[in-house]
Amino acid sequence: MSEINTHSKYSSAINQSSGGAHERWRLIKDAIARYGVIAGGLGVIVAVVMIFFYLLYVVFPLFLSATAEPVSHYDVPEQALGKTLLLGVEEQNEVAARFTDVGQVIFFQVPTGKTILTEAIKIPQGAQITSFAQGSPNNEGAVIYGLSDGKAVIAKHQYKITYPNNVRLITPSIAYPMGEAPLVIDPAGAAIEKIAVKIGDKASTVVAKFGGKIHLSHFEKETSLFSDEATITRTDSVLEYSAVDVTEILIDKDEANLYLLDKAGRLGLVDIGNKTKPALIQEQIVVEAGQKVTSLAFLNGDLSLLIGDTSGLVSQWSKVRDKLNRYAMQKIRVFKVSDKAVDMINTEQRRKGFMTVDADGTLGIYHSTSEREMVKEAGAGSHPTAAAISPRANAALIQSDDGKISFWKVDNEHPEVSLRSLWQEVWYESYPKPDYIWQSSSANSDFEPKYSLTPLVFGTLKAAFYAMLVAMPLALMGAIYTAYFMTPKMRQYVKPSIELMGALPTVILGFLAGLWLAPFIEEHLAGLFALLMFVPLAVILFAYVWQYLPKSVLENIAEGWEAAVLIPVILLSGWFALSVSVPLESLLFHGTLRDWFKTELGIGYDQRNALVVGIAMGFAVIPTIFSIAEDAIFSVPKHLTVGSLALGATPWQTMIKVVLLTASPGIFSAVMIGLGRAVGETMIVLMATGNTPVMDISVFQGLRTLAANIAVEMPESEVDSTHYRVLFLAALVLFMFTFVFNTLAEIIRQRLREKYSSL
């Protein structure tokens, strides 16, 4: 007996020991799981925060202020060779040129002012320089000298870059694009009072004022097909314009328009497309009463004029089509630059920015599209006599009347963007009125970037709205019926089948939507609207007939399987609606429904439109909303529904008053998650909308969403460029949009849970 007791105690000790080890191992696993979940949750939070701060890091430089710092200050090189008519800087900011009133060109080092080369323009002996003008700054630095004998000399400063011993060497020189021999502008030899020039590859135009008239000379270069020799055809004409008080002459880069400004501030726009018969289009006063024009320059692209006056204003005038579809100059914006007169305006060569210098030498840098003042630096009080901005707009030279030149370094990376240009209407060049436009790039270097995010946000909300309009009724009603009314056996097939729809790649849905659904809807548009009428009527009619069917038929169909009986009814009614749509369309609208919308209602129709997106993206969102909502409804405790039915409520009353209220937090979560899916969807909207960033609420018009825009344009954007950072800003807006909506959704869901948790 004692041996048996000893053995029993030993076994009990072993069992206690193994049980303790098992308990400790279970506690260890619980701790590992607990800390793993905590680490995973914290990791998700950290990842989301890091994404937010990275987006902010990329976007932040867009809104930094530009800077301008004086680097050096030195004497004007070779002051004895005349007064400065023009300063020019080459692209690397290493060599500058000074054109003087005696026909000398002095090339000097930009940082130090040390003279590199001095070269004389080939002015005929005995002739005096009576006028001077710069061609387009983008045209390789062309200038023209008007002479006292009725002739003109066209020259340009150019820079050759070589790398001897792997060291960059810039060699300046003077070239003569129209030949070294002076051009005869007036055979009678009258002194040229004012002159302007535009040099092109195949054509050049010179406009000069002399003898009280404006004369135009056009030179057309023609190359033979069988030889390299070129012949130049010259066309001369005289403008019927009072030239007595003309002080400024400008020709646009296309050599199609001529601008004449007189002392009274009257601007004349002349059409010189027909070089033999120039025609005056418009005359207009461009300054306020009592003010005078002090500076005039083309904005990059030559589509707008910048006009500075004695009050310190710079106004931008651009050609705009009027109600009669005719071009007219119109003031589209004004910059308050200074309280002093604006002595100089120098425009950037590659952007829509410009630099101003007022009578006190104050330097200002602005951007026309964004209407931003980027830089304003006070001068030394000396009156400026010449100024230049470098081709890359990262340096400036300012010469003052005290015989000094100041060299400034400019840091101005992203002037095109402002809160106004991103979110408000902007009056762009060649547009009849301010508008919201997204157009980030063009093949033309004179292009004005249009970075309005408003049409993209509008397109995102529009696509999500129509997708939810399609998905919500189908998904929620389907979830209610499946979870509450459908038999368990049928639910075993329906629920997994619908959830399986969520596994379809969105690129496949977008492909089908763009290549099959869009043409199908275009051809059967009337049938689509007929579906909305015929299918509900067929279901109602079938329900009415159902109650009169024999009991033997009704008893063979188990309760909860009625939905299966409705499938052929829906298919047949849908087929009938699509079949009769074409003849019905011809009978009622005498053509297609699309044409009727266009002619009678003025509503256009794009093949890839919001309707296609709503159907395709709704199909993608339905599984998400259905699955979550169905689980929420099915999870409502059975004692609530049984109790409601026991108290005499009908199944529908129980559903509305008990089940839906209890499941409302889950249903709301399903809707918000579906909305987030619709807002962030990329491939479907990318392939099924046409990607047109227009702001039109019509369901028949296309759109462009934030996500699709990022997918389309990010691969072609230059890293760290304004375009690149604006795309990241679009991503940040999308991130903030989903974050705010999800946060609000969670708050509402928690309150719904607290409110109905007592049921």
State the average pLDDT over residues 431-457: 86
What is the rounded distance in angstroms from the CA atom of residue 617 to the CA atom of residue 681?
8
**Nearest C-alpha neighbor of 337 from the set 316, 318, 358, 321:** 358
Strand partners, 203: 220
pLDDT value of position 757: 63
Strand partners, 313: 336
Residues of the chain above pLDDT 70, percent: 94
What is the rounded distance in angstroms from the CA atom of residue 403 to the CA atom of residue 331?
37
Structure tokens, 728: 């990241």
What lies within 8 Å, CB to CB, of 71 at 6+ separation is: 111, 407, 408, 409
Residues of the chain above pLDDT 90, percent: 27
What is the rounded distance in angstroms from the CA atom of residue 127 to the CA atom of residue 146?
10
Contact 445, 108 (CB under 8 A): no
Q: Taking 80 as the threshold, does the pLDDT of residue 380 lie above it?
A: no
Structure tokens, 585: 């369309």
111 half-sphere exposure, CB direction, 13 A CA radius? 2
Range of lowest pLDDT (204-213, 307-316, 750-759): 750-759
What lies within 8 Å, CB to CB, of 256 at 6+ separation is: 271, 272, 273
Going by the DSSP 8-state scheme, the letter that residue 435 receives in this structure is B
Which long-range contacts does 355-363 make (Cβ < 8 Å, 24+ apart)?
Answer: 355/387, 355/389, 355/396, 356/295, 356/308, 356/314, 357/384, 357/387, 357/398, 358/312, 359/383, 359/384, 361/398, 361/400, 362/338, 363/68, 363/396, 363/398, 363/408
Strand 183-184 to strand 313-321: parallel, antiparallel, or no bridges (unpaired)? unpaired
Structure tokens, 554: 């009704």
pTM for the structure as a whole: 0.85
State the average pLDDT over residues 136-159: 85
State the average pLDDT over residues 69-93: 90
Read off the pLDDT of residues 2-42 as tens digits, 9 standing for 90 and up.
555 555 555 555 555 566 777 888 888 888 988 889 998 89
Contact 739, 733 (CB under 8 A): no
Task: Tell me the residue type at 46.
Answer: V
Contact 623, 471 (CB under 8 A): no
**Nearest C-alpha neighbor of 683 from the set 458, 517, 502, 506:** 506
Going by the DSSP 8-state scheme, the letter that residue 703 receives in this structure is B
C-alpha separations of 106 from 115, 172, 182 in Å: 7, 10, 21
pLDDT value of position 19: 63
Structure tokens, 560: 């909860």
Residue with tokens 């009724």: 473
Q: Taking 80 as the threshold, does the pLDDT of residue 554 lie above it?
A: no
Burial level of 245, CB count in 10 A (0-12/13-18/19+)?
exposed
pLDDT value of position 239: 86
What values do phi and psi take at 183, rounded to 5? Answer: -80, 135
pLDDT value of position 4: 53
Which long-range contacts does 163-169 make (Cβ < 8 Å, 24+ apart)?
Answer: 168/92
Q: What is the torsional sign of CA 327, 331, 332, 335?
A: positive
Contact 625, 471 (CB under 8 A): yes
**Nearest C-alpha neighbor of 299 from the set 452, 443, 446, 430:** 446
Q: Choose between 221 and 9: higher pLDDT.
A: 221
CB atoms within 10 A of CB 492: 11
Contact 366, 373 (CB under 8 A): yes
Chain mean position to CA 102:
48
Q: Taking 80 as the threshold, does the pLDDT of residue 323 lie above it?
A: no
Task: Tell me the residue type at 632.
Answer: A
DSSP string, 281-337: EEEEE-S-TT--EEEEEEPTTSSEEEEEETTSEEEEEEEEE-TTS-EEEEEEEEEE-
Residue with tokens 């001897």: 164
What lies within 8 Å, CB to CB, of 422 at 6+ separation is: 451, 452, 453, 454, 726, 729
pLDDT value of position 253: 86
What is the rounded distance in angstroms from the CA atom of residue 80 to the CA atom of residue 100?
10
Contact 592, 445 (CB under 8 A): no
Average pLDDT, the chain: 86
Read off the pLDDT of residues 605-641 as tens digits, 9 standing for 90 and up.
888 888 999 999 998 999 999 998 988 888 888 888 8
Task: Tell me the residue type at 362.
Answer: T
Q: Taking 60 as the threshold, does the pLDDT of residue 1 lie above it?
A: no
What lies within 8 Å, CB to CB, of 628 at 6+ separation is: 666, 667, 669, 670, 673
DSSP string, 215-241: EEEEEEEEE-SSSS-EEEEEEEEEE-S
CB atoms within 10 A of CB 190: 18
CB atoms within 10 A of CB 29: 10
Range of lowest pLDDT (127-131, 247-251, 376-380, 577-581): 376-380
Contact 471, 681 (CB under 8 A): no
**Nearest C-alpha neighbor of 414 from the set 729, 734, 732, 91:** 729
pLDDT value of position 597: 81
Contact 144, 132 (CB under 8 A): yes
Q: Taking 70 as the threshold, does the pLDDT of residue 229 lie above it?
A: no
pLDDT value of position 456: 93
pLDDT value of position 139: 53
**Nearest C-alpha neighbor of 295 from the set 358, 365, 344:** 344
What lies within 8 Å, CB to CB, of 598 at 6+ separation is: 604, 605
Structure tokens, 229: 């020799």
Residue with tokens 């430089």: 61
pLDDT value of position 470: 92
C-alpha separations of 265 from 260, 288, 332 in Å: 10, 9, 17
Structure tokens, 310: 């004695």
**Nearest C-alpha neighbor of 318 from the set 335, 294, 301, 293:** 301
What values do phi and psi take at 385, rounded to 5? Answer: -120, -20
Q: Taking 80 as the threshold, does the pLDDT of residue 566 lie above it?
A: yes
**Nearest C-alpha neighbor of 413 from the set 58, 54, 55:** 58
Structure tokens, 126: 């005995």
What is the rounded distance in angstroms from the CA atom of residue 665 to the CA atom of residue 672?
11
What is the rounded distance in angstroms from the CA atom of residue 621 to the CA atom of residue 615?
10
